[in-house]
Structure 1
Amino acid sequence: MHKNIRHLQPVANIKIIFAIILSLFSVYLLFAGTLFGIVLLGAALKLSLREGFELNLEEKKYRNVYSIFAINFGFWKKLPEIEYLSIFKTIKNSRSRVIAAEATLGFEVFKVNMFYNRNQHIEAYVSDEMKDAFSVAKHIATVLDLDILDATKPEKEWISVTSHS
């Protein structure tokens, strides 16, 4: 049986390469006595940031994970008795501001939530791709022996991925 489940949002390889180059350049600037290196280091860390979710099945705990250059951070919380998983589509808004002009851009994301106590939930995963969200949901549902509610379409549908032994 799996002891830990960890899913991190994917990040493009070019972003990681650029973040590494930016980090090295920022360290060079810091050693050269320029404080601008701190700004560049912050940008590099932001580029390499990956968010995700981790379950510890032995200790029945979970945490939201923030990963920077493969170093994971997050606080463990007690995992309640999960009843089912749900996948739904929503719009994530992002603001862009240039001098006096501001625009709010919305793009589609898919969220995987774990429901407990009838209507309370824990956000387990967010993805820009439906296939990725379903893959993560099926992995968690298989390990925890749960059903998935597909709420990505107008007609909600239950998906059973386990045997319910």
Structure 2
Amino acid sequence: MNYNIRHLQPIPTIKVIFAIVLSLFAVYLFFQGTLFGLVLLGAALKLALREGFELDLQEKRYRNIYSVFAINFGSWKKLPEIEYVSVFKTIKKSRARVIAAEANLGFEVYKLNLFYNKNKHIETYVTDDKEDAFKVAKHIALALTIDILDATETEKVWL
């Protein structure tokens, strides 16, 4: 029986294909003797990067994971006694620069936090899809037998 729960942020298929092609081209350039291949390989790895989390229910531990081409990285931490999972909406900000021009951009994302000790939390998942956020929250709540707090609107609701 599998006691691990793993969720990774989805990335578009076209982005994965582009990362693979870029990686192959980067390796080719590197073996041709140009160091520009390393720069392209770094860009390809950044394109293929997926973030997420993993819970090990049998060992009572968790980790934030970074996955590149299905290779996962992350260190395990002890899982505290979780009280509930919260789904909330926030604005993710990013900055775009072109030579002398700069713009601050923001877009909505949904975050999942596991709360323990009344007000401490572990950020576990970020997505731009509300349905995906609640699907992951329900999976965690079912596995840990905890409640879900819907904090995506002004009025918070327990599910």
TM range, smaller chain = over 0.9
**Equivalent position amino acid for 1:112 in 2:** L
Corresponding position: 1:81 with 2:90: no
Instruction: Quote the offset at 1:135 in angstroms.
Output: 0.3
Deviations 1:40-73 (A, max 9, x none): 0000000000000100011100000000000000
Q: What percentage of residue pairs aligned between the two structures are identical?
A: 74
Runs of 5+ consecutive residues of structure 2 not aligned to the other structure: none
Per the normalisation by structure 1, the TM-score is 0.95
Distance 1:72 1:148 in 2: 28
**Equivalent position amino acid for 1:109 in 2:** V
Distance 2:100 2:45 in 1: 27
Per the normalisation by structure 2, the TM-score is 0.99
**Equivalent position amino acid for 2:43 in 1:** A
Runs of 5+ consecutive residues of structure 1 not aligned to the other structure: 160-165
Residues 2 and 57, structure 1, Cα contact 8 Å, conserved in 2: no
Distance 2:104 2:64 in 1: 26
RMSD: 0.7
Corresponding position: 1:92 with 2:80: no
Distance 1:84 1:144 in 2: 9
Residues 96 and 104, structure 1, Cα contact 8 Å, conserved in 2: yes
Aligned residue in 1 for 2:141: 141
Residues 126 and 133, structure 1, Cα contact 8 Å, conserved in 2: yes
Instruction: Quote the offset at 1:86 in angstroms.
Output: 0.4
Aligned residue in 1 for 2:52: 52
Written as runs of structure 1 = structure 2, the 5 A alignment for 1:63-142 is 63-142=63-142
